[in-house]
Structure formats: C-alpha cells, structure tokens
Structure 1
Amino acid sequence: MTSPEPGTALSRLRSAYAQAKTTPAAEAERSLAAIEATSRNHAFITVATPEQVERSLENLDKLATRAGGPQSLPLYGVPMAVKDNIDVQGFPTTNACPAFAYEPEESAHAVEQIVEAGAIVMGKTNLDQFATGLVGVRSPYGFSESVYGQGIVSGGSSSGSALAVATGVVPVALATDTAGSGRVPAALNGIVGIKPTLGLVSTRGLLPACRSIDGITVMSTSVEDGLTVLRTIVGPDPRNPWGRTPAQLAPSQLDAGWRAPRIGLPAESALEFFGDDAMRAAHLAARGSAVETLSATTVPVDLEPFLEAGALLYAGAWVAERLADMGEFFAAHADEVHPVVREIIEGGAQYSAADGFRTQHKLRSLRHAVRPVWDDVDALLIPTIGTTVTMDEIAAEPFAKNATLGHYTHFGNLLDLAAIAIPAGTTSDGRPCSLMLVGPPYSDLTLASIAARLMPAN
C-alpha cells in the first residue's frame, strides 16, 4: 500500500521564504522535477515551460514590490496546479479532448486571483473528459490509479489535481465540483476537498458541465492550506452572471469562544456501503471518533430527501443542460469524444422542456424538505464515498460504478450546500476512508472549523 506524500504546508513554505532557506525559483524547479518524476500517473496534461516559469517569477517580484513585500501576498511563491477545464492564459484549455482545445485570451477569474496573490501555475491537470465522470479514467491523456494502489481508480473528474496534491507535486490545486468531482478524488487519494457555497467563487473562465450547479473548488493536504486558497478566490466578479450576493465567506458559527457543534448523523441502517463491510466499519469508527473529539451533540437526520435529490442529477434537466452547452461540438466531433461521455451527454436529448421543469419542481420541494435540518444541526457528517472502485469494475460497469461513487456527493450542489471532504484513515485492507461535512449555504467556515479539529496540522 502507498499513501499520500504531502507537499510543504503553506505556513512552512512562507517561513522558509522569510528565513531565506529556499526561493520561489527553487520551489518551482522542485515542482517541475516532481511532475517529471511522477509523469506515469498522467496527472498533468500541460506543464509550464521554463520560460513560463521565468515570466511568472518576474511577475512575482513585481507583485511583491507593489504589495510592500512577500509577506503581503498570501500565496507568495506557492506552486499550484489548475484543472484543465479552467482557463489559464498561456496554456491551452483542452477539457481532456484534443479536438476541443483552444488558447484562452485571459485567465479564469479564480486563476487571476491566485496569481495576484503570488501563486505560480505549474501546469494544467487531467480530468474525466468534459468533467463528465467521477472515475478519473475517461481521458485520452492517460489515467492512473489512486495513490493507495490496489487498482483503485483515482476518482474524477478532478483526478489530476488530486494526484498532483497527493503525490506532493504541489501543495494545493484548483479543481471543480458539479456532482462530486472535487470531493470523490480527494477521498480516493487521502486529501482535503473543499466545495464552497455555489456562487462565492466566480465561474467565469470555467468551461461548463452543468453551469447552473458548477463550482470551482480547492484541494489540499490540510484544511488550513485549503482555506488560504479559498479566501483568495472567493469574492465578487462583476462579469460573472452566476455570482452570489454577498460573495463573501460568512463567519463561523462556532469560533467565537468555540462551542461544541451539533452534528447530524443518519441512522447506521440508512448508510449505504455497497456490500463493503470493511468500509462500513472504518466509517463508523471514524465518525464515532469524530463525535468524541468534537464533544459534539448528535442529532438524528433523515438522509432520504438528500439522496432523493441526488438521484435527480441524471434524470432530466441537468443532463440536458450538459447537452445545451456541448451539443454543437458533439455533433461535429462525435468520434473524438470518449464513448461513455458521449452516451451520457447525448442522453440529454431524450428529455423535453416539460421533463426539465418536472425535475426542477421536484428539486424545489426537496430543498424545502431539507431546509429545517439546518435549524437543528451545524453540519451533517456522512461518508464521502461508500466504497472504492477498481479500474476493472469501472470497465465492466461504467455507469453503475460511477453512480456508486457519487452516492453521497450528487446532492450537494443541487441542494445548494457547502461541503468539505477530509481523510479519515484507511479500511482494514488499506483503502482510503473519507468523512464529509455538509452544511447550508454560507456555512463554509463553520464546516472548516469542525474539519480542522478533526485533522492534525501538516
């Protein structure tokens, strides 16, 4: 069994820079060497050239001078990776489809923010093509198993960003999450996946999967590092039609003097582990330990309306939404699209406008049904994944196993919730276990407060 090899924590990197123990140039060089050393996992589609890195370093010097010193830039000299459905000027955007690739005229708003904060973009990471899948194997640019081995898939669609962080190539990365794409690969690679409240991070410059529920997310090896990046990318963007007002993080409901949280727990009988008894045991042990560590008050929560909402994701409006954005390209390049991806997206054509409204109406009623839960709990604590899945299993059942991985994540954006996935040890046979904290919109910092107390600092 292998396991994650975390990169340098941002606090330690900042300290090393302040003490002149390393330089941004040296860290960028180290990151490029690590990309080369781990190239067999196909985490990256495009890697920064030495010339691009040199320009980034020159720009970093200018930013530091203008800001009054490196200490004023929260991401000063931090090597970062960006998922390749997010535009970065100077890098092609492929969406894991060579026929679709183009050169963006400007970077996505979130990328502009990390660069202004001092980050150095080291490359664009691999993904399930058109961000369609939770498995990490639907890419012509190659794919790799989880860092835990055993033939376990790396998870998608943000597979490359997860692998880049889990192998220590970069300490933090940008990813995306529509149906679980930023949480499932985090779970399968033993790292943190932060899915913020929809609309807090601008999606301008993000290629849409389902644009009404798409979000840019953060992957890291610690909650603290992930929050550093999240604080950098959250904020208003006048050019973003999907923004939220106010586009800012709400204060934690727990941190003023810290009170023990109220944790919502589904009945054990309501949890689905797909016959994986080792994962069931690992999860129940992890959640029991979490409740004890937090001195939490536990509140029973009915998980059924959440899962019912998740089941709507591939039942009408949102499959058609994928087709609405990509249908013209698919019609012209059908043979250049991964067959499973093509089948999923072309399936949107079977739904009528009436079907779309029916699913929207159903979702509205389910949002109404779950809203009172947040009067009684600060966070819901559930598995991020109910089991792991191997490459052979995905090959045999690509749709069913994909749904298995999304069982606990599909409902997140549909119900307008915030979520954080955190590692929770391993099963008895060495596979990754992950806990997910879920809360209402604007509960991002409350969830982070809880998550940080469940993870040792790196």
Structure 2
Amino acid sequence: MPDPVGSISDLRSAYRDGSLTPADLAERVLDGLAGRDREPVWISTVPADRLLERARSLSRHGDPALPLYGIPFAVKDNIDVAGLVTTAGCPDFGYLAAQDAPVVRRLLDAGALLVGKTNLDQFATGLTGARSPYGSCQSVFGGGLISGGSSSGSAVAVASGQVSFALGTDTAGSGRVPAALNGIVGLKPTRGLLSTAGVVPACRSLDCVSVFAADVAGAVEVLHAARAVTTADPWGRPLPTEQVAARMPGTLRLGVPDSADLEFFGDTGQEVRFAAGVQRLRTFVGSTRSVPLGAFFDAGDLLYRGPWVAERLVALDDFLRSHPDSVHPVTRAVLETGRRHDAVDAFRGQHRLRELRAQVGRLWQDIDVLVVPTVGTTFTLDEIAEDPIGRNAMLGRYTQFANLLDLAAVTVPNGFTSAGRPASLTLVGPAFTDTTLARLAATLTEGEAPGAAVEVVPAAAELLVAVVGRHLAGESRNAELVGRGAFLVGAARTAPLYRLFRMDTPDGEGLPGLVRVVPDGPAGHSIEVELWRLPAQAVGGLLAGVPAPLSLGWVRLHDGRDVLGFLCEAYATGPPAEDISAAGGWRAYRGAPVRQ
C-alpha cells in the first residue's frame, strides 16, 4: 500500500525545511495512483506529464508563501476542470469542460496541485456511494462498509492519503456522510461561500461545495483560500467581516438533542459513541441545553418528499427523457418522483419551509451550536442493495435539513463502536458561523498541527496575538509574553498586504515593524508571524511596554482571519529604515547572508 501523501500541515513543514519539493511530491502521488488502479475512487486523473509539469513549475518558480503551495487535491466529478470531462457519474452525460469552475481556479491560484476527479453517486443523488456506473467505493475501514455518498471518491481519496484535501458537494449530506464513514473531517460551508458556478446542479438553490481534509485546520485553510463571490454565480454570498474571527468555545451555548428525538435504528454502538462525544463537548463550551429536533426533521423531509425533488429535474429532465437507460435505476427512480409536483406544491413547500425556519430561528436565540450524530447507523454495500432508498433516507436523517434551513456544519470523527464501525458527530450552526464551528470542532478533536489555521482553545478569557519580531520565540523580548502566561500556538503568515521594515535601535539589534500597504502603493508581501495565546487581562500590561512607533492593531492572516498583532506606524519606515519585506520574515532576514 503506498504511503499517504500527508496532511496540509505535514507537507507545508516538509516544504519549509527543504526535505520535499512539489516535484518530489508529484512523483509520490503518481506512485500512489499506480498502486490503486483497481479501486473505483477516480473517474479521471490529470495526465502524468501535466501533473509533473505543474509540480516542477511550482518547485522552480512558485511562491512558497502561497497558502496551498504544492498541496495535492481532488475534485468531485460534477465540478468542472478545464481539459477534463465532467461526467457527474454518468458517462453519456459527459462533456469536456472549457474552463475551471471558479472554486477550482481559486485553489490552483493558491498553489494547490490538482490530481484528478473522483467518483460519486450519479448526479450527486444519494448518500451511499453505491449509485455509480464506475463502481462503488468502500470505506477505508473495509469489511464491505459503504463509503457514503454522494462524494464517495473525494472522501476515500483523502482518507486513504492519496491527496491532502478534496472538494465534494453537499445538498443533503454528501459532504458529511462520506466524512463520517471514512474517519475524516467534512466541512459543509454556509451556502454561497464557495461558488457553485461550474458545478452540475443537483438542487441549485440548495447546492453547496464542501471540503474534505484530514483535520479541521486543513479544511478551514481550504475554505478561506477558495471562498469568493464571482459574477458567474448568482448564488454567491461573502463571509461577513464580523464572522471571520471565531468565537471562543467557552462562550458558546451548546444545544443537545432531546433524547426522544434521537434515533439510532437499533445501533447501540453509535448511540454510546454519540453520548461520549457530547459529554466531551460539554467540557469545552459555556453551557448546554436540550433542544427538540422536530422542526429540523420536518424541514429535512421536504427535500425528497416535497417539491425540491422537482428542482433536480431542472438541469436533468431533458437528458433523463432522451437517455433513460443511461441513468442508474435508483437515481432514475428518485429523479422521476419530481414530476409529481406542480407549481402549487412548490409554493406550498416554500411557505412550510418559511414556518420551519422561523421555528428553528427561535431556537438559535438560546443556543449557538447544535450537535447531532452525522449518521444514526452504518451499512454495508450488501445491506444498501437490499433497500437502497429506505436506508439512504436513514443515512440522511441528521444531514438533509441543513441547506434547507440555511445552516453551516462541520463533521468530525468520534471514535469507533465496539463493532469497529466509525462514529462521528456534526456541529451545526446558523449561516456564517463556519469559523466558530470549526474552532469548536478543532478543540474537540485535538491533535491539530502547530501553526494550523484553527487552534485548540481551552479557555474563554484569552486572545490570539500575532508577533513578528523581537517577541518571537527565542528572541530578546519573548519573555514579555511568556511571563504573562502566553503560550505558542504556532507559525502562520499574513495576507500579502504588508511590508516589513528594520529600524535602527541603540543596541544594534534592530526593531522590525510591520506596515499594511495602501492602495496604489508598493505591492504587499506575505510575512511570517507567530501566533501566541495570551490571557486577556495581560494585554494591557503588554501594550504598556510596547515602544513607539509600534502598537497593537488588527492583522489580516493568509486564511482571512483578523487577529490582534504588532503593527508599526508608517512615519517610522522612511530612511534610514530598511525594507526587508522580500525576506518574508524577521527570522529569515536575520538568517540571510550579510550584504556587502
């Protein structure tokens, strides 16, 4: 079995210390693909020479500061990639994509390395991973366990280590159920944060591009690199500025489902694991309360029992009529139920959904986050074949309401049952709470890489501070942080909006100053910083010791977050101050050869 390529943080560390290049990594990826040629994970892959050319170009000319420099990824084959055929899991439907979907282009521009396109439940209709003419993926845990769908190949590609992250789509749970069944993270963003332009529609008003990754930090990095509002996508929405920074777990009110509303379909192992996960969550949040799930379930029922199933025919009706034998029998049966609904049904459904959204909206006045099982039970491929539609509905019980109710969600592993089946849970919140959900998810899962985009935060009364110079670990003023109870979270980089200057000091050591560039001024750089978590009550004492022209202000990180950090007033950056931006950071500058 080929070795896993590694997570985003693993690869970034290897690139930073010079033990790996993107070209080396591409060779490893190709070796891994060759070792899995009988697995139905991939529908198409980037030709080997094209993959190597891209990787070598990154190695020679790419900017290592790019947020996803040299990180291999896959996309579900209902998302367009220029020069590759988009099949949506149906060969006769396939077409050659003329351009990249905007979400793919954003990732490529961020330095990511595209490997190929993955298998799926045909037309993204299903949660099992067993509705594809290209074959059915099994879970990485074996035993004939389904992989989950519809984003089956994307989840397996990440869980098996063939890529570091992958894009899926999620209309009814397709970005969460496969994550649950393969022991990885599945991030279902707020609808519209990731563009659905260039994505074959399943249910256009509800569709959402999702992210699979090995850890929460990696998933959030991909989200921030990929999110953008484009003119090609009328469904796009920006992440409000006030929602970029996550809330601390200790300030959150957790909603736990009423026990009467929990259904595990006789699977006591999943029931036990969910209870254990909830108990663990309670130790991190500020408070908990029981929440009824009736309105959530009623909303979820509208997806396939209401008029939204008819929306699936908008993009596919002509093809379904002209090529009925090209469509998987179960998929065809589901889609054809859409013809039972008329315009009256559509308006009746919208009115009912508005009522349910109002009910759920009142619940959010009392809680900030809801925890639910991702799936109540698991199935093998043989069990799904016995009842493909009924058991698919069981898999979607806790997922299919999310997009109808305009919610964000993050799925994380939650151990294994006594029978060895993977368990997971999902954190759910209102639209645009994505980063807050991710922070809590990272806290729950622990083990996040140092310097990751989401930190494990054990206490509420702390602030994250970005330091750039003499307060760095091992530097002359670091004791001012440590002595106030600060601890190092890890390394990060700013957004490419800053320049770094060295100003003379009497001790000859120099004082670095970070300045944000102005529009129409010199180009900005991405500057290396360290993130330290500092007790809130200690910030005043730290600020009192900061010498002019430095101050504390808001610093934009490469993942889009704004954190407190050291900044410099622009007046101090004129001669004789030295612009050291090209070095990329204070340590890199200090380690550079002495110029004559």
The TM tier, using the shorter chain, reads over 0.9
Structure 1 residue 7 displacement after superposition: 4.3
Structure 1 residue 296 displacement after superposition: 3.8
Please state if 1:275 is matched with 2:257: no
Letter in 1 for 2:312: R
Letter in 2 for 1:180: G
Letter in 2 for 1:222: D
Q: Please identify, of 141-150 and 107-116, the stretch whose mean Cα deviation from structure 2 is larger.
A: 141-150
Residue 85 of structure 1 corresponds to 78
Residue 37 of structure 1 corresponds to 35
Residue 228 of structure 1 corresponds to 221
Please state if 1:219 is matched with 2:225: no
Task: State the secondary structure of the residue aligned to 2:74.
Answer: strand
Residue 53 of structure 1 corresponds to 51
Q: Structure 1 residues 448, 298: CA separation in 2 closer, same or farther (over 3 Å shift)?
A: same
Structure 1 residue 275 displacement after superposition: 0.9
How does 1:190-205 map onto structure 2 within 5 Å? 190-205=183-198
Structure 1 residue 245 displacement after superposition: 4.7
Task: State the secondary structure of the residue aligned to 1:76.
Answer: coil
Match of 1:99 among 88, 92, 100: 92
Is the 1:6–1:221 Cα contact (8 Å) retained in structure 2?
no
Task: State the secondary structure of the residue aligned to 2:316.
Answer: helix
Residue 165 of structure 1 corresponds to 158
How does 1:344-383 map onto structure 2 within 5 Å? 344-383=334-373
Is the 1:416–1:441 Cα contact (8 Å) retained in structure 2?
yes
Q: Please identify, of 393-402 and 295-304, the stretch whose mean Cα deviation from structure 2 is larger.
A: 295-304
Letter in 1 for 2:50: Q
Letter in 1 for 2:394: T
Structure 1 residue 374 displacement after superposition: 1.6
Structure 1 residue 28 displacement after superposition: 1.4
Cα distance per residue 1:212-268 (max 9 Å; x no partner): 00010100010000011000111211221111255778234524xx63421100122
What are structure 2's unaligned runs of at least 5 residues? 450-596
Residue 182 of structure 2 corresponds to 189
Task: State the secondary structure of the residue aligned to 1:41.
Answer: coil
What are structure 1's unaligned runs of at least 5 residues? none
Cα distance per residue 1:264-286 (max 9 Å; x no partner): 00122220101111111111112
Letter in 1 for 2:379: V
Task: State the secondary structure of the residue aligned to 1:413.
Answer: coil
Structure 1 residue 129 displacement after superposition: 0.4
Is the 1:78–1:118 Cα contact (8 Å) retained in structure 2?
yes
The structure number with the bigger radius of gyration is 2
Is the 2:137–2:153 Cα contact (8 Å) retained in structure 1?
no
Task: State the secondary structure of the residue aligned to 1:313.
Answer: helix
Q: How many aligned positions are there?
A: 447
Residue 118 of structure 1 corresponds to 111
Residue 452 of structure 1 corresponds to 442
In structure 2, how many angstroms separate the alpha carbons of the residues matched to 1:452 and 1:296?
16
Is the 1:195–1:216 Cα contact (8 Å) retained in structure 2?
yes
In structure 2, how many angstroms separate the alpha carbons of the residues matched to 1:316 and 1:263?
30
Is the 1:85–1:93 Cα contact (8 Å) retained in structure 2?
yes
Letter in 2 for 1:235: A
Residue 25 of structure 1 corresponds to 23
Letter in 2 for 1:335: D
In structure 2, how many angstroms separate the alpha carbons of the residues matched to 1:344 and 1:404?
15
> If each structure's strand is expressed as a fraction of its own residues, which one has the higher value?
2
Cα distance per residue 1:377-420 (max 9 Å; x no partner): 12101100000011111111010000010000000000000000
Q: Structure 1 residues 332, 180: CA separation in 2 closer, same or farther (over 3 Å shift)?
A: same
Structure 1 residue 150 displacement after superposition: 2.3
Is the 1:197–1:441 Cα contact (8 Å) retained in structure 2?
yes
In structure 1, how many angstroms separate the alpha carbons of the residues matched to 2:69 and 2:55?
10
Please state if 1:108 is matched with 2:106: no
Residue 335 of structure 1 corresponds to 325
Residue 6 of structure 2 corresponds to 8
Match of 2:257 among 263, 266, 288: 266
Letter in 2 for 1:27: L
Structure 1 residue 29 displacement after superposition: 1.6
Q: Please identify, of 114-123 and 237-246, the stretch whose mean Cα deviation from structure 2 is larger.
A: 237-246
In structure 2, how many angstroms separate the alpha carbons of the residues matched to 1:248 and 1:58?
37
Q: Structure 1 residues 63, 359: CA separation in 2 closer, same or farther (over 3 Å shift)?
A: farther
Residue 389 of structure 1 corresponds to 379
How does 1:279-294 map onto structure 2 within 5 Å? 279-292=270-283, 294=284
Residue 316 of structure 2 corresponds to 326
Residue 427 of structure 1 corresponds to 417
Match of 1:302 among 261, 284, 292: 292
Q: Structure 1 residues 343, 449: CA separation in 2 closer, same or farther (over 3 Å shift)?
A: same
In structure 1, how many angstroms separate the alpha carbons of the residues matched to 2:429 and 2:405?
10
Letter in 2 for 1:226: A
Residue 74 of structure 1 corresponds to 67
Query: What is the percentage of aligned positions where both structures have the same residue?
Result: 49
In structure 2, how many angstroms separate the alpha carbons of the residues matched to 1:394 and 1:285?
28
Larger RCO, structure (CA 8 Å, separation 6 or more): 1
Residue 250 of structure 1 corresponds to 243
> If each structure's helix is expressed as a fraction of its own residues, which one has the higher value?
1
Structure 1 residue 6 displacement after superposition: 6.1
After TM superposition, the score normalised by the length of structure 2 is 0.73
Structure 1 residue 62 displacement after superposition: 7.9
Q: Structure 1 residues 214, 248: CA separation in 2 closer, same or farther (over 3 Å shift)?
A: farther
How does 1:434-445 map onto structure 2 within 5 Å? 434-445=424-435
In structure 1, how many angstroms separate the alpha carbons of the residues matched to 2:289 and 2:94?
49
Structure 1 residue 142 displacement after superposition: 1.1
In structure 2, how many angstroms separate the alpha carbons of the residues matched to 1:132 and 1:117?
30
Structure 1 residue 366 displacement after superposition: 0.2
Q: Please identify, of 97-106 and 295-304, the stretch whose mean Cα deviation from structure 2 is larger.
A: 295-304
Letter in 2 for 1:26: D
Residue 144 of structure 2 corresponds to 151
Is the 2:22–2:59 Cα contact (8 Å) retained in structure 1?
no
Is the 1:282–1:428 Cα contact (8 Å) retained in structure 2?
no
